[in-house]
Amino acid sequence: MSVVMPSYNSAEFIEQAIESVRAQTYPHFELLVCDDGSTDATIEIVERLARQDDRIRLLRNNSRNISRNCNVGLFQAKYPWIARLDADDVMVPARLELQIRAAEQDPSVVLWGGFARLVDRAGKPLRTLRTGPTTAAEFEETRLAGSMFVIQGPTVMFRRDIALEIGGYDPFFNSAEDLELLHRMTARGQARVLPTILTDYRVHGGSITSGKAAHQIRLIRYIEARNRAILAGRPMRTPEEFMGALDSAPDFIRFLEWIDGKARQNYRNASVHHAEKRVSQAALCLTLALLCNPFFSVPRMSKRLGRAAGRRSRVALRGVARKFLDVTHIGHHGGPAL
């Protein structure tokens, strides 16, 4: 097993992340820390721990790109399975053992994930993220619908040979690189999630996004459109052509796309501020999210609050939101369909 951990100015949390790998019940691994030009104490911490444990290797580079940085580890790895972990997250002690055991039992699966526990800066649990297909039937149902497989990135383990055959992480998809690689890999086999917590996924001040949400949504829409094209057996535009078509949409559609991105950005940032106990900033971001796109924010708030009404409103609001915010289905009066 090769564990790939990208890092950049990760001194605050990286020692805890590395120690969680060293504490695994499955001892047969190497840990590749791929550092993308850190200027804080990250290098010193990793070098100190590497002197204590020869399973740790530091791979310094200046990729200035998360996908290229992850590819450094992918190309240098020596074992057939790659497990991903970010430098501010923590593996539960049995994670690698559970995933290796599952892989041995079902060789048709090329990518494994699990549930993630969202924690704050101090490691206090916030909530559990339960996403992804846990059975072969769920995988097939999602695939045949052309829908997204959402598997938490810090829980992923995948076959190195297949990832290399399809070119590794694509630098074009920064901020959605894990999802994009996952969906290309499912052309070679199944993806599956173990229904147990494998990783503590930390949210903190460094998690705050600043304008990337709208671009990330576009990347995800491309992946969804590519899924549908593959199912229909029709050719798919390149990512550049797809983005160009979105840019040529009418001003009103592009404004809706922009404001939807702002809603998602502020909603995520509100969660981070809340985890950091910055109440006023959390309230401001949540208010902005509600103002920008209540169709996105209200159902999620209702779900988080455990309101039964949220289940009914999500169905109704999503139907309305799709009509106004899904710019991937622009018809004859709104520009080219993608």
Same domain, 15 and 108: yes
Confidence of residue 209 (pLDDT cuts 50, 70, 90): low
Last residue of a domain, one of 174, 202, 230: 202
Distance, CA of 173 to CA of 171 (rounded, Å): 5
Let me know whether 186 and 284 are in one domain. no
The verdict on residue 208 lying in a domain is no
Is residue 207 situated within a structural domain?
no
Where is 100: in which H helix or E strand? helix 95-105
Final residue belonging to a domain, choices 158, 177, 202 = 202
CA dist., res. 13 & res. 88, Å (int): 5
Domain end call among 177, 202, 227: 202
pLDDT at 292: 85
178/234 same-domain check: no
Residues in the chain, total: 338
What counts of helices (H) and strands (E) characterise the chain?
13, 9
SS3 200: strand
CATH number at residue 80: 3.90.550.10
List, for residues 219-260, the tens digit of each pLDDT value. Answer: 988 999 999 999 999 999 999 999 998 888 888 877 887 788
Indicate if 68 and 135 belong to the same structural domain. yes
**Domain tally, the chain:** 2
Among 259, 260, 235, 257, smallest CA distance to 248 is for 257
SS3 301: helix
Average pLDDT, the chain: 86
State the average pLDDT over residues 128-152: 93
Output the CA torsion 155→159→164→167 (10° steps): -50
> Does residue 242 sit in the same domain as residue 185?
no
Are residues 223 and 197 both part of a single domain?
Answer: no
Q: Read off the pTM.
A: 0.81
User: Which residue do the tokens 């901020």 mark?
Assistant: 175
Instruction: Say yes or no: 220 and 197 in one domain.
Output: no
- φ/ψ region of 64 (left if φ > 0, alpha if ψ in -120 to 50, else beta) reads left
